[in-house]
Structure 1
Amino acid sequence: MAVIFIIFKILVLSLSNCFAEEINLYGDAGEAYAIDIYLGHPHQKFKLLVDTGSTTLAIAAYAREDSNIYFHSDNSSSLYNSGHKIQAAYTQGNWTGLLASDFIQFPSLNGLPEVRTDFALITESHDFFTKASAWQGLLGLAYMPVGAWGEAGSVESWLDAVDRNLNRPVSFYLKLCGPVSATNTTHYGYFNVVDDHTRNYNRNKTFRTPVLRKRWYEVGVIAIRVMSTKSNETNEVQVQDEVRDPDEEMCVKLNAVKSIVDSGTTQIKLPDKLFRQVVDELKNEFRKSEVILDEFWNGREAACWPEPQVWSLPWLAIDLLSADADNQYFTLEIPPQNYMLVVGVHNSSNTTGTVSTYCYKLGLEAGGTETVIGYIAMEGLQVLFNRSAGWIGFQSSECGSNARITGPYNASESLLSSCQLIRPVADVATSIKAAQWSLCGVFIIATSVIIYLLAPTVKSLCDRKVRRLQQISLSQTALVEQESE
């Protein structure tokens, strides 16, 4: 056991030297990346999944069948429990809990102060925690309209609490490195919070895509396609003058509901028809040398070999709208080692000695009508999320796979228009907002009369309300957003 620990420490130190930063993200096979946090006073240590697909910081507050690690409310002297019930539903699983507030600190982020933040005490969940998961909750990094909600409103996010504490907007970046070798199932990475004055040590070109709607990190996906072998062999980095018109039908379908960048999701999820098309191309290419059962290509089963695989499959290309011009896009080029996921390395002994088995699953999934760019599309890259300016920047990275970014490429017309990326506000949402303004006017008049007649009482109530808001901060933004969809 001691030998394994020493080897692990040497591995982490060598990785840290290579990345010139301390590794602070870890993930088990098939799970997203998690970071260590301290919560409450005295500190209680937990692991939270770093999730750009949700907003609320949520943590287990009860012992589960496969884990007895959870937040002990009675042990924190700084906890404020509002007693308000809140809930959240995800693509997989849901939870209910109580709205609380306490201090959170990140031991790996020395320049970031400890801040008081709202969070959810999860008291009940269904299919939310994975079996034997090493994490106890989520660190939501998206915008307020997709925060958890309940009887008193939505929960302020940790990032908004940091903005308020520092009195300036902050951004964050993810450097996801994946496994360090073909025989390792643990993946590593780095998370950091930055502002516009932070020095960027990555000198590689930044390719920016706009956040089309500030709910999730919703972006314009122009195409997701299998690259030809010929294009894989080129080392082309930038092509600025070439005109490449995308498939408008594909583009519209990819963004029909929403296309989001989600570090909390493992796979790249595609609309059903496109998923079938991409997988058929990969399957046909693979069958030139070997056959895998359809259960693997449908994502239901893993395929195993007695030795680690070196994949000769085609690369995947993800074309994203450029923030520099509405008729430009750039391409994320994803190698097969990213989407052929190592999900298990097993050793067993028999009469002839030790036998190893290396198991893989496909990193693509049918997403119904939605498109989700999961973390496997970010491995080998550095991804900056500028929340206030509303863009995501992609840079090549020195860690992980040899993923590439090429472009920008020009289209002959506006991609915002041809791909229908700008959608008008629905009539229902407009009616709701008009009604809210009307009710607001009536409320102001009525309140003025009440305050005039009952000034002493109103003043006393307001004072109590102000003291309470110093403990818990709520927003109705999420409720309005949910009603308008």
Structure 2
Amino acid sequence: MTITFNVVLIIFQILLVLRYGEGYNLFGEAGQAYSIEIYIGRPIQKLNVIVDTGSTTLAIASYPRREHDKYFETNNSTTFEDSGMQIQAKYSQGNWVGRLVSDVVEIPSLSLPQVRANMAIITKSYKFFVNGSGWQGLLGLAYLPVGAWGDHVIVESWMDSLDARLQRPTSFELNLCGPQSVTNVTHYGNLRVLDIYSEIVSDIIFRTPILHKRWYEVGVLSIRVLTNKTEELIVNKNITTDAQNFEVDMCRKLNHQKSIVDSGTTNIRLPDALFRQVVDQLKKVVQVANTQYPSNIILDNFWDHAEAACWPEPQQWSLPWLAIDLLSAESDYQYYTLEIPPQNYMRVASAHNSSGESGTVSEFCYKLGLEAGGQETVLGYTAMEGFELLFNRSAGWIGFKTSDCGPKTRITGPYNVTHSITSSCQLITPKTDMAISIKAAQWALCVISIVAATVLIYLLAPCIKMLLVKPLPRSTQISMSQTALVDQDIT
């Protein structure tokens, strides 16, 4: 019995190594998103692109930059096709302009056929490429309405091209693991593309609906600081029986503009007032708890996301966990909670372990993984590390489960409330997608054309009448209209 168990355990460990050891296909440095290697053109050119659920377009640098001299050389690809049409894109940080082109694209770490896909070759950019970044563009995985734009141009995504090539819809899974150790700033992860008819696993029991198929918009109901696990369980129990305990005001503020899951963003971005509220609570808990890392060491500039905090040794944080409540896809009266440890939001910014070198000192620096975001809410990869996320694009939901790699996260729930969450949090405000917007614009143009034609006919009617109708002898009757009076004065 013991031998059998040990054999099974060894096999399980080997499988984990195969999947999460040598099987990593996502990499990134501190403060940068996760990137993947792709092949473009023939002969192939190997490039690295960010895996970005916050945009749609495959966009590649086509010129050498100060940040990096590697780029896609269009003249060296025999399969390159240039439409000549100008397109552009603007992000929360930076923008670019370029041209719409197409070429053969392949991702070697995925068991997928090569596809001819639309992409943008970036010819000019502003604050888009990060200094020292090891990537040359990004692979957008969101829906069509948030792609690059131009005059009379629709840029099809790589995912849409793949679906057309396979003749069936696909989904994808992101497993972001973070750094492998406290002394290493390089983070690792995995991207898998799944056939929704055969490969979607059944153990994804926590699902949240995609409210609008543009970005991956979800219902973020609240973000809380877990000061005491036992107390939080009691509060959650109360919430299941009393909907009035649910913080509707916070929920509405979080989703006022939009709440999205964005792997291309580093931090958890909150509306300004809520950012201040959460950070102030974190600071207060640190002061009251009197941990081994006193609050006077972590200066206010750190909490305001202005400066990094550094120590001579890597830190094992005993700070509070954060809880993120998400609307459940199972019921409009149900939600569940993602619980993330301080290792997620106390991000490693740099790690220099130079112990033993004469005249040098080790330094480990951290930055806060929370930031103010104006009016929008963004769950960046800080909120995703330690979870496996399954993006079912066609069915319109995102599944969550805890990961076998990365921070030790938790998922609790589901919790029930007595009133509609989408209604009380105002998550059902109509938002038009591109197809609806185009149709609405067409109808609006039609109505405007009809109105304009009616007005024109009305104005031209007297002239047409004069041309078609034989003039009658002038009457001696005096008209009471101002126009007639003027006419009579002139005569």
Q: TM-score range by the shorter chain?
A: 0.7 to 0.9
- Asked whether 1:32 is paired with 2:33, we answer yes
Gaps of at least 5 residues in structure 2 are 1-13, 450-491
Give the whole-Å Cα distance in 2 for the aligned partners of 1:118 and 1:351. 51
Give the whole-Å Cα distance in 2 for the aligned partners of 1:18 and 1:207. 22
Q: Relative to 1, partners in 2 of residues 1:351 and 1:71: Cα closer, same or farther, differing over 3 Å? A: closer
Q: Is the 8 A contact 1:47 1:137 kept in 2?
A: yes
Paired residue secondary structure (1:355):
coil
CA offset digits 1:229-268 (Å, max 9, x no partner): 234997xx99996556420000000000100000000100
Per mean C-alpha deviation after superposition, the further-off stretch among 167-176 and 343-352 is 343-352
Q: Is the 8 A contact 1:238 1:406 kept in 2?
A: no
Paired residue secondary structure (1:318):
strand
Q: Relative to 1, partners in 2 of residues 1:230 and 1:121: Cα closer, same or farther, differing over 3 Å? A: same
| Cross-structure match for 2:110 | 109
- Asked whether 1:377 is paired with 2:383, we answer yes
Q: Which one-letter code corresponds to 2:101 in the other structure?
A: A
Alignment of 1:50-65 (within 5 A): 50-65=51-66
Gaps of at least 5 residues in structure 1 are 1-12, 444-485
| Cross-structure match for 2:419 | 413
Q: Which one-letter code corresponds to 1:422 in the other structure?
A: I
| Cross-structure match for 2:396 | 390
The alpha carbon displacement at 1:67 in A equals 1.2
Give the whole-Å Cα distance in 1 for the aligned partners of 2:190 and 2:64. 29
Alignment of 1:222-301 (within 5 A): 222-231=221-230, 245-287=245-287, 288-289=290-291, 290=294, 291=296, 292-301=298-307
Give the whole-Å Cα distance in 2 for the aligned partners of 1:423 and 1:408. 24
Q: Is the 8 A contact 2:216 2:261 kept in 1?
A: yes
Give the whole-Å Cα distance in 1 for the aligned partners of 2:21 and 2:357. 46
| Cross-structure match for 2:476 | none
Q: Which one-letter code corresponds to 2:64 in the other structure?
A: A
Q: Is the 8 A contact 1:239 1:409 kept in 2?
A: no
Q: Is the 8 A contact 2:212 2:431 kept in 1?
A: no
Alignment of 1:131-210 (within 5 A): 131-200=131-200, 204-210=203-209
Percent identity, aligned pairs only?
60
Q: Which one-letter code corresponds to 1:143 in the other structure?
A: Y
Give the whole-Å Cα distance in 2 for the aligned partners of 1:117 and 1:232. 52
Give the whole-Å Cα distance in 1 for the aligned partners of 2:87 and 2:129. 17
Q: Relative to 1, partners in 2 of residues 1:21 and 1:407: Cα closer, same or farther, differing over 3 Å? A: farther
Higher relative contact order (CA 8 A, sep 6+): 1
The alpha carbon displacement at 1:372 in A equals 0.3
Give the whole-Å Cα distance in 2 for the aligned partners of 1:59 and 1:277. 39
Give the whole-Å Cα distance in 2 for the aligned partners of 1:182 and 1:276. 28
TM-score by length of 1: 0.83
Q: Relative to 1, partners in 2 of residues 1:283 and 1:195: Cα closer, same or farther, differing over 3 Å? A: same
Q: Is the 8 A contact 1:268 1:372 kept in 2?
A: yes
Q: Relative to 1, partners in 2 of residues 1:434 and 1:283: Cα closer, same or farther, differing over 3 Å? A: closer
Q: Relative to 1, partners in 2 of residues 1:197 and 1:432: Cα closer, same or farther, differing over 3 Å? A: closer
Alignment of 1:58-137 (within 5 A): 58-110=59-111, 112-137=112-137
The alpha carbon displacement at 1:17 in A equals 3.2
Give the whole-Å Cα distance in 1 for the aligned partners of 2:164 and 2:438. 29
| Cross-structure match for 1:459 | none
Q: Relative to 1, partners in 2 of residues 1:435 and 1:384: Cα closer, same or farther, differing over 3 Å? A: closer
CA offset digits 1:380-399 (Å, max 9, x no partner): 11000011111111011111
Give the whole-Å Cα distance in 2 for the aligned partners of 1:26 and 1:371. 25
Q: Is the 8 A contact 2:349 2:365 kept in 1?
A: yes
Give the whole-Å Cα distance in 2 for the aligned partners of 1:431 and 1:118. 22
Give the whole-Å Cα distance in 2 for the aligned partners of 1:153 and 1:232. 54
Q: Which one-letter code corresponds to 1:394 in the other structure?
A: F
The alpha carbon displacement at 1:150 in A equals 0.8
| Cross-structure match for 1:211 | 210
Q: Give the greater-gyration-radius structure (CA).
A: 2
Give the whole-Å Cα distance in 2 for the aligned partners of 1:32 and 1:403. 20
Q: Is the 8 A contact 1:15 1:23 kept in 2?
A: no
The alpha carbon displacement at 1:403 in A equals 0.7
Give the whole-Å Cα distance in 2 for the aligned partners of 1:70 and 1:431. 35
Give the whole-Å Cα distance in 2 for the aligned partners of 1:435 and 1:191. 38
Structure 1 vs Structure 2 CA RMSD:
2.8
Q: Which one-letter code corresponds to 2:108 in the other structure?
A: P
Per mean C-alpha deviation after superposition, the further-off stretch among 324-333 and 287-296 is 287-296
Q: Which one-letter code corresponds to 2:414 in the other structure?
A: P
Q: Is the 8 A contact 1:416 1:422 kept in 2?
A: yes
Q: Relative to 1, partners in 2 of residues 1:232 and 1:205: Cα closer, same or farther, differing over 3 Å? A: farther
Q: Which one-letter code corresponds to 1:273 in the other structure?
A: A
Q: Is the 8 A contact 1:185 1:344 kept in 2?
A: yes
Q: Which one-letter code corresponds to 1:220 in the other structure?
A: G
Q: Which one-letter code corresponds to 1:176 in the other structure?
A: L
1:316 paired residue among 322, 325, 342: 322
Paired residue secondary structure (2:82):
strand
| Cross-structure match for 1:306 | 312
Give the whole-Å Cα distance in 1 for the aligned partners of 2:274 and 2:232. 25
The alpha carbon displacement at 1:121 in A equals 0.3
Per mean C-alpha deviation after superposition, the further-off stretch among 133-142 and 344-353 is 344-353
Q: Relative to 1, partners in 2 of residues 1:408 and 1:40: Cα closer, same or farther, differing over 3 Å? A: same
The alpha carbon displacement at 1:73 in A equals 0.3
Q: Relative to 1, partners in 2 of residues 1:205 and 1:386: Cα closer, same or farther, differing over 3 Å? A: closer
The alpha carbon displacement at 1:18 in A equals 6.2
Q: Which one-letter code corresponds to 1:59 in the other structure?
A: I
Give the whole-Å Cα distance in 2 for the aligned partners of 1:269 and 1:332. 16
Q: Which one-letter code corresponds to 2:329 in the other structure?
A: A
